[in-house]
């Protein structure tokens, strides 16, 4: 699915900018633009073409502390809703089959694979994506540790690794490298940066002060 | 693409009504970890998705005079965090916790694992060994079915049109009872069983007084191996009894050759896993 190109969308973004520019702008402005296409009056393209088609759902999704109102095909996964409708492209689509973990997000603080959940299933839940970890200019300790430890090569799995790592630390499952490897086993890295990922999680767990237990 | 509806009823009656009204095009969604993949692959294209995660009876665990009732849509993670259930039925819990990765555990359920009807479903041999009773509700009302009667073949169940698996009931058992589940996979995590074996035992004064054995991935359906249970019951789980039970497991196998294992390999492993799982279950039973 392409980025919506309806007139409503153009009006909101203000110009005929490209998808990548839109994302760049949204990041620079702290994500304020992300909600743009969802302002009152915005009608998704499919709905605009078909009137109010049967088989669509009106949903309220709470993502990174902001409420979004969407009209979606019921089959839309949470991942597609995040990436294609909210333009939060930090969560990656790797396999789309729940195997690789690149799409990991937090639901009420617990990790889940966004590709295996319908958007409809998480209505009313608090969803946190990689975009929601930063506090102003302050990276989350695990984001900082990933940079410090060089815990990636291509970076594609990184958002999912970090979201799973945040949950791993919060759950108290970051007590030892072995424990981290076990509880991070749902996230694959084809570059093989596992040693550095484990080290980054250990560092962040110490920084956060909840690495004990588990 | 056809239009598709999504409903999230609050009660089983409403869910059954929605399934009945769908006239065969309804699909139950619990965790969605099988259904979404099948939809994406075009294997299924439901007219209506019935999300059962909002039904209290299907998403809770209750203790029932010594036994347990586990809602069919309870996630593996919730089951794994239930300390008393884990103590009473460690084999059932470890089997359910082997389904997928940590994130999958947050969604996937034993009910979904059963209804997906894979012969290699990890939770099913352990539930068979446990003597789990499945409560099913459909347009004609409720019925209770032994779990081993649900699978009809790969991807097929004996559920009637419109029927929904509501819960599993694990029976109360005497002291000195425990269970274990082992599966063989070439990796350490996230793989499909080459063979899976669940054993549930009661041991009193060193003698095995009751046993049940479930075997997975060695036949079109998960098997209840009664001859293996007979070989264990009444014995002191000595080498002779264990070998007799292993032989019964091998004899029960009707596996396929595939990339995961040959017929000969699967058959041999079924006996090996029986002995090891029985050993773990016996050790756990002795500790209680």
Task: Calculate the average pLDDT of chain B.
Answer: 95
CB contact under 8 A, B101 and A111: no
Give residue A3's pLDDT.
41
Query: Would you state the pLDDT for residue A55?
Result: 78
Q: What is the CATH number of domain B177-287?
A: 3.30.390.50
**Alpha-carbon gap: B114 to the closest alpha carbon of chain A (Å):** 18
Predicted local confidence at residue B189, as pLDDT: 76
pLDDT by residue (tens digit) across A128-139?
999 999 999 999
Each residue's pLDDT tens digit, A164-190: 999 999 999 999 999 999 999 999 999
Q: Determine the CATH number of domain B56-170.
A: 3.30.465.10
Residue B137 burial class via C-beta count within 10 angstroms: exposed 0-12, middle 13-18, buried 19 and up: buried
**Cβ <8 Å between A118 and B107:** no
Is the pLDDT at A16 greater than 70? The verdict is no
Q: How much is the pLDDT for B288?
A: 61
Q: Percent of chain B, pLDDT > 70? A: 99
List every span in chain B annotated with CATH 3.30.390.50.
177-287
Please tell me the distance from the alpha carbon of residue B117 to that of residue B91, in angstroms, as a whole number. Answer: 20
In chain A, the residue whose alpha carbon lies closest to the alpha carbon of B101 is A186
Q: Name every chain B residue with its beta carbon within 8 A of the beta carbon of A57.
A: 6
A contact test, residue of B27, B31, B102 with most A CBs within 10 A: B102
**Nearest chain A CA: its distance from B29 CA (Å):** 10
Q: With an 8 Å Cβ cutoff, is B6 touching chain A? A: yes
pLDDT in tens, B94-133: 999 999 999 999 999 999 999 999 999 999 999 999 999 9
pLDDT at residue A86 in the model = 97
For the stretch A99-116, pLDDT in tens is 999 999 999 999 999 999
Average confidence score pLDDT of chain A? 81
Quote the pLDDT of residue A95.
Answer: 94
pLDDT of residue A19: 46
Question: Looking at the predicted complex, does its ipTM rise above 0.90?
Answer: no
> What residue ranges in chain B does DSSP mark as E strands?
5-7, 26-29, 48-51, 61-64, 67-71, 133-138, 141-146, 151-153, 156-157, 164-170, 177-184, 195-204, 207-216, 223-224
Q: Does B56 touch chain A (CB under 8 A)?
A: no
CB B214 within 8 A of CB B125: yes
Instruction: Using the predicted structure, report yes or no on whether residue B135 has a pLDDT greater than 90.
Output: yes
Angle at B69 between CA B67 and CA B72, to 5 degrees: 150
Residue of A nearest to B77 (CA): A110
pLDDT over 60 at A37, yes or no: no
- Kindly indicate whether the domain formed by A7-132 is annotated with CATH number 3.10.20.30: yes
CATH second-level architecture of A141-208?
Orthogonal Bundle (1.10)
A-contacting residues in B 182-211 (Cβ below 8 Å): 188-190
Task: Quote the pLDDT of residue B267.
Answer: 97
Q: Assign a CATH topology to domain B5-51.
A: 3.30.43
- Burial of residue A169 (CB within 10 Å: 0-12, 13-18, 19+) is buried
Q: Where in chain B are all domains bearing CATH 3.30.43.10?
A: 5-51
pLDDT over threshold 90, residue A23: no
Mean pLDDT across B27-45: 94
Chain A CB within 8 Å of residue B49 CB: yes
Q: Which of A151, A155, A128 is nearest to A62 (CA)?
A: A128
Domain with CATH 3.30.465.10 in chain B: 56-170
Q: Mean of the pLDDT values across residues A70-74?
A: 95
How does residue B1 score in pLDDT terms, banded at 50, 70 and 90? low
Question: Residue range B62-75: average pLDDT?
Answer: 96
Structural domain boundaries of chain A?
7-132, 141-208
């Amino acid at each position: 699915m392409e980025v919506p190109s309806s007139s409503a969308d153009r009006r909101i973004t203000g110009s005929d900018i490209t998808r990548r520019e839109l994302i760049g702008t949204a990041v620079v402005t702290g994500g304020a633009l992300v909600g743009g296409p969802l302002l009152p009056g915005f009608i998704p393209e499919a709905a605009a073409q078909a009137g109010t088609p049967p088989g669509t759902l009106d949903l309220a999704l709470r993502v990174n502390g902001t409420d979004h109102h969407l009209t979606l095909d019921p089959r839309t996964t949470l991942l597609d809703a995040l990436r294609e409708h909210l333009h939060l492209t930090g969560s990656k689509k790797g396999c789309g089959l729940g195997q690789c973990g690149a799409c990991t997000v937090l639901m009420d603080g617990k990790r889940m694979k966004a590709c295996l959940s319908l958007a409809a299933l998480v209505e009313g839940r608090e969803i946190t994506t990689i975009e929601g970890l930063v506090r102003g200019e302050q990276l989350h300790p695990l984001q900082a540790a990933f940079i410090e430890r060089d815990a990636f090569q291509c970076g594609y799995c990184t958002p999912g690794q970090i979201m799973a790592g945040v949950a791993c630390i919060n759950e108290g499952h970051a007590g030892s490298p072995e424990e981290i490897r076990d509880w991070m086993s749902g996230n694959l890295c084809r570059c093989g940066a596992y040693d550095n990922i484990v080290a980054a999680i250990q560092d962040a767990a110490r920084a956060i002060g909840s690495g004990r237990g588990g | 693409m056809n239009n598709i509806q999504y409903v999230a009823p609050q009660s089983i009656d409403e869910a059954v009504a929605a399934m009945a009204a769908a006239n065969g095009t309804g699909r139950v969604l619990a965790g969605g970890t099988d259904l979404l993949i099948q939809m994406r692959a075009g294997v299924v294209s439901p007219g209506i998705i019935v999300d059962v995660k909002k039904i209290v009876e299907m998403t809770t665990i209750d203790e029932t005079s010594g036994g347990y009732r586990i809602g069919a849509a309870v996630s593996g993670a919730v089951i794994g965090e239930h300390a008393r259930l884990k103590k009473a039925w460690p084999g059932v819990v470890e089997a359910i916790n082997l389904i997928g990765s940590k994130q999958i555990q947050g969604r996937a359920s034993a009910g979904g694992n059963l209804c997906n009807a894979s012969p290699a479903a990890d939770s099913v041999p352990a539930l068979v060994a446990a003597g789990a009773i499945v409560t099913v509700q459909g347009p004609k009302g409720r019925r209770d079915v032994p779990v081993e009667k649900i699978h009809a073949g790969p991807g097929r169940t004996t559920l009637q049109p419109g029927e929904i698996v509501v819960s599993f009931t694990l029976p109360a058992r005497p002291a000195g009872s425990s269970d274990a589940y082992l599966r063989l996979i070439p990796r350490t995590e996230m793989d499909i069983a080459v063979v899976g074996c669940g054993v549930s035992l009661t041991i009193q004064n060193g003698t095995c007084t009751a046993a049940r054995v479930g075997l997975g991935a060695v036949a079109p359906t998960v098997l209840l191996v009664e001859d293996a249970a007979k070989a264990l019951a009444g014995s002191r789980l000595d080498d002779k009894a264990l070998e007799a039970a292993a032989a019964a497991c091998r004899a029960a196998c009707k596996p396929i050759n595939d990339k995961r294992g040959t017929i000969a390999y699967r058959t041999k492993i079924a006996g090996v896993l029986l002995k090891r799982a029985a050993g773990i279950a016996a050790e756990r039973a002795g500790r209680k």
